[in-house]
Structure 1
Amino acid sequence: MPFINPEDGHLTVLNLFKTDTRARVDTLVKEMKAIVDTAAFPGWISSTVHRGEQTPGTANFIQWRGMQDLESRYNDSEFKHHTVPVFREITSFVRLMQTEVELSQRHPALGDVTEVSPDRDDYTVIEVLGVDPAEQGALVATLGTAHSWLVDVPGYRSQSVLRGIRSRNLEGGAGTLATVGTDNDFVVVYSQWDGKESYDTFRTLAEAEWPAARRGFHDKRNSLTTSTDWNGYRAVHTRSASQPVAV
Structure 2
Amino acid sequence: MPFIDPENGYLTVINLFKTDTPERVHRLVGEMRAIVDVADYPGWISSTVHQGQERPGTANFIQWRGNQDLESRYAGDEFKHRTVPVFHEIATYIRLMQTEVELSQRHPSLGDVTEISPDRDDYTVIEILGVAPADQSELIRVQGAMHEWLVDVPGYRSQTVLRGIRSRGVGGTDGGLTAVGQEKDFVVVYSQWDGKESYDAFRALPSADQPAARRASLDKRDSLATSAEWNTYRVVHSRSAAQTTPA
Q: Compute the TM-score of the two structures, normalised by the length of structure 2.
A: 0.97
Question: Is 1:17 the counterpart of 2:48 in the alignment?
Answer: no
CA contact (8 A) 1:14 1:96 kept: yes
Partner of 1:78: 78
- Shift of the alpha carbon at 1:207? 1.1
Q: Which residue of 2 aligns with 1:236?
A: 236
Aligned-partner Cα distance in 1 for 2:145–2:90: 38
1:171 aligned onto 2:171: yes
Identify the residue that residue 212 of structure 1 maps to in structure 2.
212
- Structure 2's unaligned 5+ residue stretches are none
Instruction: Confirm or deny that 1:100 pairs with 2:100.
Output: yes
Q: Distance in 1 between matches of 2:197 and 2:234?
A: 14
Deviation at 1:48, TM superposition (A): 0.2
SS at match of 2:143: helix
Match for residue 139 of structure 2? 139
Structure 1 residue identity aligned to 2:60 = N
Q: Which moved more, 1:50-59 or 1:173-182?
A: 173-182
Q: Which amino acid aligns with 2:32?
A: M
Structure 1 vs Structure 2: percent identity of aligned residues? Answer: 71
Aligned to 1:124: 124
Amino acid at match of 2:175: G
Alpha carbon RMSD of aligned pairs, Å?
0.8
- Deviation of 1:172 (Å): 5.4
Find out whether 1:68 has 2:64 as its counterpart: no
Which structure 1 residue ranges, 4+ long, deviate > 3 Å from structure 2?
A: none
1:172 and 1:178 in contact (8 A); partners too: no
CA deviation string 1:138-167 (max 9, x = no partner): 000000001000000000000000000000
Measured against aligned partners, the alpha-carbon deviations of 1:189-232 in whole angstroms (never above 9, x if no partner) come to 00000001100000011111100011000111011000001000
Whole-angstrom distance in 1 between the partners of 2:192 and 2:52: 14
**Structure 2 residue 188 is matched with structure 1 residue 188:** yes
**Cα distance in 2 between the residues matched to 1:74 and 1:172:** 14
Alignment partners' CA distance in 2, 1:114 and 1:220: 26
CA drift of 1:173 comes to 5.8
Maintained 8 Å contact 2:126/2:190? yes
Q: Match for residue 199 of structure 2?
A: 199
SS at match of 2:41: coil
The aligned counterpart of 1:47 is 47
- Amino acid in the other structure paired with 2:80: K
Q: Match of 2:28?
A: 28
Residue 72 of structure 1 deviates from its aligned partner by: 0.2
Post-superposition Cα deviations, 1:42-95, rounded to whole Å, max 9, x if no partner, equal 000000000000000000000000000000000000000000000000000110
Distance 1:25 1:36 in 2: 16
SS in 2 for 1:80: helix
Instruction: State the distance in 1 between where 2:153 and 2:219 align.
Output: 19
Deviation, 1:174, is 2.1
* 8 A Cα contact 2:15 2:96, kept in partner: yes
> Aligned with 1:87: secondary structure?
helix
Q: How far apart are the structure 1 equivalents of 2:209 and 2:94?
A: 36
Which AA in structure 2 matches 1:63?
Q
Three-state SS of the structure 2 residue aligned to 1:117 is coil
CA distance in 1, matches of 2:208, 2:23: 40
Within 5 Å, give how 1:150-161 maps onto structure 2: 150-161=150-161
Provide the rounded CA distance (Å) in 2 between the counterparts of 1:211 and 1:226.
24
Q: Which residue of 1 aligns with 2:5?
A: 5
